[in-house]
Amino acid sequence: TSSRYKNERYLGDGWYQFKDEFKLNPGDVLKCSIENPPQYMNVMIIRAASP
């Protein structure tokens, strides 16, 4: 096992579905926040400027 920080987590299951559902593009920024207690992660999508 690798050493990890106590609160370190990784995105995995469902990520590709999320990306496709919200049509994420290169340059889009995801701003994530976690409620207390940490049951859910909130994600705000900031779209990249269109050319």
Q: What is the pLDDT of residue 51?
A: 67
More confident residue, 24 or 39: 24
Q: What is the pLDDT of residue 47?
A: 97
Say what the pTM is. Answer: 0.68
Q: For the chain, state the CA radius of gyration.
A: 14
Q: Are 34 and 40 in contact (CB under 8 A)?
A: yes
Give the residue extent of every domain in the chain. 15-46
- Of 29, 38, 27, 32, nearest to 11 by C-alpha is 32
